[in-house]
Amino acid sequence: MAATIAPANEAALAAAVAAAHQAGTPLAVWGNRSKEAFGRPVQAAGSLTTRNLAGITLYSPAELVIAARAGTPLGELEAVLAAKGQHLIAEPPDLSALMGCGEGPPTLGGTVACNLSGPRRIALGAMRDHVLGVRAVNGMGEIIRSGGRVLKNVTGLDLCKLLAGSRGTLAVLTEVTLKVLPRPERSATVMLRGLDAARAIAALSAGLGSPYGVTGAAHLPEAAAARAGLGGRAATLLRIEEFTDFIPYRTLRLAEVLASFGCAEMLDHDASLALWRAVRDAEPLGAAPEEAIWRISVRPSRGPEVAAALVRAFDARLLLDWGGGLVWAAGPASEAAHRAVADAARGAGGTFWLMRADAAFRAALPGMPEEPAPLAALTRRVKAAFDPKGVLNPGRIAAGV
Amino acid sequence: MLAMPEPDPHVLARREAIVADLRERAGAGNVIAETLRLKPYETDGFTAYRRVPLAVVLPKTTAQVAACLRYCHDQGIRVVPRAAGTSLSGGALPLEDAVVIGVSRMNRILEVSCEDRLARVEAGVTNLGITKAVEGEGFFYAPDPSSQLACMIAGNVAMNSGGAHCLKYGVTANNLLGVTMVTVEGDVIELGGGHLDTPGYDWLGLIAGSEGQLGIVTEVTVRILRAAEGARAMLVGFAATDVAGAAVADIIASGIIPVALEFMDRPCIHACEAFAHAGYPLDAEALLIIEVEGSEAEQDALLARLKAICARHDPMTVRIARDAEESAAIWKGRKGAFGAVGRISPDYLCMDGTIPPGALPEAMRRIGALARHYGLQVANVFHAGDGNLHPLILFDANDPESFRRAEMLGADILRLCVELGGCLTGEHGVGIEKRDLMTAQFGAADLDQQRRIKRAFDPRWLLNPHKVFPLDTAGAA
């Protein structure tokens, strides 16, 4: 493979893509390759990185908006926000413990392009929900813009959400504008112990259906709880993030709502922050290096049956987030295990991603459910509307896309 | 006046045969073709423009919608999707040679799950109808456009509708889990479902706000939320617009995100007070309505903090509601604002730009200057937290010159919003109203990209064809 093109600015990046379009030469697109193991391997003669497009271009705390170039490390963005008492709403994970470190820290562009969100997704939306504006280069090397820097904008088709999660197959993000929020003063966790998955999800639903503002709802089965340093009993976690003086009332009332599920323990600020950081990064999953990792997205009430099916099928290690609607699973990188995940997801009316596996496995098996024919046709047509010659990250999401 | 495309004489000539074919596909009782019964469908909430459609179909099932769309697509007949017809931008305005396909008879609640915090409904259920179906369990559907009593969820999805509470709860796209959509070719596709994220392209994000350009949505699954323990409002009057703007910035910077943060200017305060007798301060240049949520004690704490922040900006009036009744009194004027303005002027145009909130003082000054230039009055209401501005331009529809000036003033105001770093529309959509202004916000490559996506869904450009994109280039394939 030729040396990676690392343009220093958007115009140079557009020129590089235009040249690839002219020549019909596919490009693998990445930031720092920290999520390389997520998605199908890209067969491309060349490669392109956004890592040199770095820096914050706008930050207006009183307007809840920040913009940065795609190669800006996520950590840098978070530090700048923290200095003004704000944070990224979707709580995007740092998956380097699962995925390896690539060639550098996760970037803003990569995180948005993968639409990765953490525990707060259940209450306050996904990464894509807070993308207010994008600049990007399509597969013809044209610079395109969508959205802007204001919180409410319905002008024209919304390409921001379409590009978020498109894994660099439609356009290369060059700059992203995000809505941000004040970081709550204090975090606290109400924890229930020893529940099975079905009871745990019922408890999480009760908490999320209460008026006390739960912003995280996860269930760690025994092994995951142990790895999170919580001892050997399953742990069911509900997080409140609020002004300090609101915390005692809210946690107490939440514990009352959950009384039928057992006696609640309380974790205060530092312990709560550390625990949710681990859940965010799926650390307690405890996947061995050679194992595959999947994420299954279902209605929360169907989470327990998915969990049970995967334990039956391949003794899966599990972690449930988003109130039970997001099941992280680790197990052998085998076709049988992969089929069990796909079947469980479909059986529960949901969907899945293959999050990590070796390249041969990812090349051989679909990393997500196959789309029905009319939808698959739309996928191809929309791909062609951005990238008619298929030069951007070909095959990253699915064969032919 | 906005130009409209010429109707296709071949389609007009086949009208009777088309109506018969539609009756076969949708059921005779679901097709309207009599001139008198077509009349109510000639316009929407943007009443300055009217076109009586070829026919109106009001199917009762997704299969009927699919059969009609497939037929129209095969025959090359334009289709205008319609829900309640409350669009303020002409999003549902028909064409003489178009078939209107409306979802108003698809109005069943299909499922409510408090456990999974979702509701699945047919697309003709009203916005408020969803909240009514779940409020018994203490839940609500968050986006609350002011037309929520009448507007339907299909239209909310099409326009990505907002409301007064989006600063905290987001707009339609942020509360959408799944849709059943019929493509122009008559294929029924399921996007999303009862779960949160889905791999592949973000179809839901693209469909939300696509203004009926990409398909017709027949079923919708939305997130429902548990309502807070309670909410209370406060009202603050300021001596100047920029002082109110500075107070808004201080509030956001303090870490408090009010559930609503509404601004009204002097003409609006006066119109609303005359209408609602809400006790608004008539000597103030700007008024903020701020609402917070939580337990009684939390409301007290937040309102006290907000009062202290506002006190730094020399407010002329501060009134904190002590209970729900006093909150309702504070809201009464704001909620009746459009009606109130309707009493002081025969007609008004409701604009809908967004600006960065920090640009509010400059926006107010320059809108005032523009209004003087055109010799018209403007009253402003503003979702101050999220920057969504609603200038109401007062004019007299019986005077064509007054209407012409109102349209020109509106266009200038929207160009100003773009110049200040904002956009043409925050929640009403482009429709026909702002179609020709799109080039003020987007470059050629931006618009071409959007058009190519439109074409990927609708290669013959038959769905809502004269909307969103500048007319001269819209159908250019």
Q: Which CATH number belongs to the domain containing residue A315 in this structure?
A: 3.30.70.2030
Is the Cβ pair A349, B193 closer than 8 Å? yes
pLDDT above 60: residue B475? no
Q: What are the residue ranges spanned by the domains of chain B?
A: 9-105, 109-226, 231-337, 345-437
The 10 Å Cβ neighbour count of residue B365 is 12
Look over chain A and give the mean of its residue pLDDT values, rounded to a whole number.
Answer: 97
B89 touches chain A (CB under 8 A): no
Is the Cβ pair A210, B468 closer than 8 Å? no
Tell me the pLDDT tens digit for each residue of A334-355. 999 999 999 999 999 999 999 9
Shared domain check, A103 and A221: no
CA distance A160 to A165: 10
Shared domain check, A339 and A267: no
Picking from B115, B292, B427, B438 by the largest number of A CB atoms within 10 A of its own CB, the best residue to mutate is B115
Single-letter residue type at B28: A
Shared domain check, A291 and A350: yes
Tell me the pLDDT tens digit for each residue of B131-179. 999 999 999 999 999 899 999 999 999 999 998 889 899 999 999 999 9
pLDDT score, position B338: 82
Distances in Å between the Cα of B259 and the Cα atoms of B40, B60, B143, B253, B386 are 37, 37, 12, 15, 11
- Residue among A153, A156, A297 whose CB faces B450 most closely: A156
CA distance A249 to A269: 15
pLDDT score, position A384: 98
Shared domain check, A294 and A199: no
Distances in Å between the Cα of A296 and the Cα atoms of A156, A321, A370 are 32, 10, 14
| CB of B380 closer than 8 Å to CB of B264 | yes
Can you tell me the mean pLDDT for A383-389?
A: 98
pLDDT score, position B473: 58
Give residue B366's pLDDT band: very low, low, confident or very high (50, 70, 90). very high
pLDDT score, position A1: 56
| CB of A239 closer than 8 Å to CB of A208 | no
- In this structure, which CATH number among 3.30.70.3040, 1.10.3720.10, 3.20.20.80, 3.30.70.2740 belongs to the domain B345-437? 3.30.70.2740
Q: Is A55 exposed, middle or buried (0-12, 13-18, 19+ CB in 10 A)?
A: exposed
pLDDT score, position A400: 83
- Residue among B196, B203, B426 whose CB faces A297 most closely: B196
Write down how long chain B is.
477
Side-chain half-sphere of A162: how many Cα atoms within 13 Å?
28
Q: What is the CATH number of the domain that holds A201?
A: 3.30.70.2190
For A302, nearest residue in chain B (alpha carbons): B116
For A298, nearest residue in chain B (alpha carbons): B195
Look over chain B and give the mean of its residue pLDDT values, rounded to a whole number.
Answer: 95
| CB of B220 closer than 8 Å to CB of B179 | yes
Domain B9-105 part of CATH 3.40.50.300: no
Domain B109-226 part of CATH 3.40.50.620: no
| CB of A148 closer than 8 Å to CB of B421 | yes
| CB of B376 closer than 8 Å to CB of B395 | yes
Sequence-ordered list of residues with C-beta below 8 angstroms from that of A72, at least 6 positions apart, any chain = A53, A54, A55, A56, A107, A108, A109
CA distance A228 to A218: 12
Give residue A369's pLDDT band: very low, low, confident or very high (50, 70, 90). very high
Give the domain extent around A191.
186-280
pLDDT above 80: residue B472? no
C-alpha dihedral sign at B302, B306, B311, B315: negative
CB pairs under 8 A between A and B: 265
pLDDT score, position B53: 98
Q: Determine the 3-state secondary structure of A353 from DSSP.
A: strand
Shared domain check, A179 and A191: no
Q: What is the CA radius of gyration of chain B?
A: 23
Query: Beta strand A171-182 with A86-88: parallel, antiparallel or unpaired?
Result: antiparallel
Q: Closest Cα to residue B201, out of A60, A167, A305, A250?
A: A167
Is the Cβ pair A166, B357 closer than 8 Å? no
Report residue B10: phi and psi, to 5°: -65, -40
pLDDT score, position B476: 47
| CB of B368 closer than 8 Å to CB of B409 | no
Give residue B477's pLDDT band: very low, low, confident or very high (50, 70, 90). very low
Q: Closest Cα to residue A23, out of A167, A166, A141?
A: A141
Distance between A54 CA and the closest CA of chain B, angstroms: 22
| CB of A370 closer than 8 Å to CB of A355 | no
Q: How many domains in chain A?
A: 3
Shared domain check, A107 and A5: yes
Look at the block and give the residue holding tokens 């562009």: A109
Residues of chain B positioned with their CB less than 8 A from the CB of A122: 196
Residues of chain A positioned with their CB less than 8 A from the CB of B162: 152, 154
pLDDT score, position B336: 84
Is the Cβ pair B452, A170 closer than 8 Å? no
- Residue among A249, A299, A353 whose CB faces B297 most closely: A249
- Residue among B256, B356, B442 whose CB faces A60 most closely: B356
Shared domain check, A249 and A100: no
Report residue B26: phi and psi, to 5°: -110, -5
CA distance B259 to B383: 11
Shared domain check, A196 and A55: no
Distances in Å between the Cα of A306 and the Cα atoms of A121, A139, A207, A316 are 20, 38, 21, 11
Interface of B with A in 38-57 (CB under 8 A): none
Residues of chain A positioned with their CB less than 8 A from the CB of B199: 165, 351-353, 367-369, 397
Give residue B339's pLDDT band: very low, low, confident or very high (50, 70, 90). confident
Give the residues across from A178 on adjacent strands.
A66, A131
- The DSSP letter of residue A259 is G
Shared domain check, A298 and A169: no
Residues of chain B positioned with their CB less than 8 A from the CB of A181: 257
Give the residues across from A173 on adjacent strands.
A136
Residues of chain A positioned with their CB less than 8 A from the CB of B260: none
Tell me the pLDDT tens digit for each residue of B232-258. 999 999 999 989 999 999 999 899 999
pLDDT score, position A399: 87
Q: Is A207 exposed, middle or buried (0-12, 13-18, 19+ CB in 10 A)?
A: buried
For B388, nearest residue in chain A (alpha carbons): A152
Shared domain check, A98 and A55: yes
ipTM higher than the 0.90 cut: yes
- Residue among B115, B191, B301 whose CB faces A205 most closely: B115
For B117, nearest residue in chain A (alpha carbons): A209
CA distance A80 to A78: 6
Shared domain check, A190 and A179: no
Q: Work out the angle between the directed axes of helices B241-253 and B360-374 (0-180°, nearest 10).
A: 150
Shared domain check, A52 and A124: yes
- In this structure, which CATH number among 3.40.1440.10, 3.30.70.2190, 3.50.50.60, 3.40.50.300 belongs to the domain B231-337? 3.30.70.2190
CA B264 to chain centre: 19
Q: Do domains B109-226 and B231-337 have the same CATH topology?
A: no
Is the Cβ pair A211, B450 closer than 8 Å? no
Residues of chain B positioned with their CB less than 8 A from the CB of A249: 295, 297-298
